[in-house]
Structure 1
Amino acid sequence: MQSELFAAENTAQPATAPGLTAQSAKSLKYAVNGECLARQGSMVAFRGDLRFEKKGQGVGKFLQRALTGEGVPLMTVRGQGEAWFAHFDRNCFIVDLVQGDALTLNGSNVLVFDSSLHYDIRMVQGVGMAGGGLFNCVFSGQGRLGLVCAGTPIIIPVHPQAPVFVDTDAVVGWSANLQTSLNRSQTFGSMVRGGSGEVYQLRLDGEGFVIVQPSEA
């Protein structure tokens, strides 16, 4: 049987080492030799001896999720084999974290990650109770993290003399060392006249980067 469907880049190859790799622009593969953590329901295929179990969040994270609505519904993948992950046809990317790194992410953008990584749910400082995305997941430690974005993300450097302002519905994540605050870019008079649709943004100050997706879903 012949078809461009069977092109080499579409064909899954046996893993050469354990861990997370890119299968395509829309999917990631994890060669499991022990365990990894993934978003519940994100597995699209697997082969080998693998078990998928809902991961308990612990009392602290359960209460945080109940109060904030943030977090990631996770499952633990255990055993030996290969599993493929995707989420709503979104683009997939891999981030390598080393000791000393810390990345804050919107929970909806997390796909799969090494169990060696530590994550916590933290309030976005300086935002108060206005706007969206008040709580994010902060990842630290050493390991690989797979994330998803609606489209190809924009990576914007942040410098001390050049703060960046991002829509809270479009931001994916940022360097966890950055300082955050709420910015209001619309005057009261403009709001009375109907508004621009751009009332509040998240302001990021310091040295690092911010990841923005071309979508306000």
Structure 2
Amino acid sequence: MSKYSIQEFINETKKTKEPKDSFDLETDRILDVQLAGNLWAKMGSMIAYIGDVKFEREGLMDHGADRMLKKAFTSEGSELMSATGKGQIYLSDQGKKITILDLQGEKITVNGNDLLAFQPSVNWDIHMMRKVAGMMSGGLFNIILEGQGKIAITTYYEPLTLLVEPGKPVMTDPSATVAWSGHLEPEFKTDMNYKTFLGRGSGESIQMKFEGEGFVIVQPCFEGTSNQ
């Protein structure tokens, strides 16, 4: 048989394993969800499914009046879709690498663009940022998740986790910042000078500053500059 035959292609690319859990990775860039109830996922992330599953766009009142007001008046919040039923769903986001995290009562804050899916048992809320800081960082919004259950986040290439220790603050570029310990409260640090306005600055004139104790997850690529 030719190594370029259709059958050979099917053999190399077909699904080869059964998921070990309700959230499992089919590949590093495809999330395999065994659905038996409901799930929240990023709008447009479904690439295929098997079974009896219904997808619906998130409604304004699906998560309560408080979050509805935050979304309506700040334009902050990733559009979500609900998946309901029983079957197998495959999710992906522009070919980004997927990481599954199993929350055991912890709290984590995730950049809204980097949240792929989460189980309904996880509590979540939209983090209100200072308006000026949000504008300067390119309109970033964050989602706080906590409780029990699995979440899936995405990164361009391999993520890097930096530990934040007392007296040793960590500074990151907002566009490269994916997630951080839920109890950390980042501040925006600006480094504006005449070189910045003359176009001779490094480009990193705005940073997020994390102080205290915890962790920060960054990706080796700026959000919006790669589809790898």
Do these two structures clear the TM 0.5 threshold for a shared fold by scoring above it?
A: yes
Give the letter aligned to residue 15 of structure 2. Answer: T
2:97 is aligned with 1:91: yes
Report the Cα distance in structure 1 between the residues aligned to 2:122 and 2:150, rounded to whole angstroms. 8
2:122 is aligned with 1:114: no
Gap runs ≥5 in structure 1: none
| 1:127-142 correspondence runs (5 A) | 128=133, 131-132=136-137, 133=139, 135-142=141-148
| 1:131-210 correspondence runs (5 A) | 131-132=136-137, 133=139, 135-186=141-192, 188-196=193-201, 197-210=203-216
TM superposition shift of 1:15: 4.2
Paired-residue identity, %: 31
Partner deviation per Cα, 1:86-140 (whole Å, 9 max, x = no partner): 01111111011111x1111111111111010111011247974662155311001
Report the Cα distance in structure 1 between the residues aligned to 2:57 and 2:131, rounded to whole angstroms. 33
Query: Any conservation in 2 of the 1:125–1:181 contact (CA below 8 Å)?
Result: no
Q: Which of residues 21, 24, 28 in structure 1 aligns to 2:31?
A: 28
| 1:142 counterpart SS class | strand
| 1:115 counterpart SS class | coil
Query: Any conservation in 1 of the 2:111–2:140 contact (CA below 8 Å)?
Result: no
Query: Any conservation in 1 of the 2:19–2:26 contact (CA below 8 Å)?
Result: no
Give the letter aligned to residue 64 of structure 1. Answer: K
User: Number of aligned pairs?
Assistant: 213
| 1:46-57 correspondence runs (5 A) | 46-57=49-60
Give the letter aligned to residue 53 of structure 1. Answer: E
Query: Any conservation in 2 of the 1:127–1:134 contact (CA below 8 Å)?
Result: no
Decide whether aligned partners of structure 1 residues 73 and 14 sit closer, same or farther in structure 2, where only a CA change above 3 A counts: same
Report the Cα distance in structure 1 between the residues aligned to 2:126 and 2:93, rounded to whole angstroms. 21
TM-score by length of 2: 0.84
| 2:195 counterpart SS class | helix
Report the Cα distance in structure 2 between the residues aligned to 1:97 and 1:155, rounded to whole angstroms. 17
Report the Cα distance in structure 2 between the residues aligned to 1:143 and 1:151, rounded to whole angstroms. 25
2:15 is aligned with 1:11: yes
Supply the RMSD in Å over aligned alpha carbons: 2.2
Give the structure 1 partner of residue 47 of structure 2. 44
| 2:59 counterpart SS class | coil
Gap runs ≥5 in structure 2: 1-5
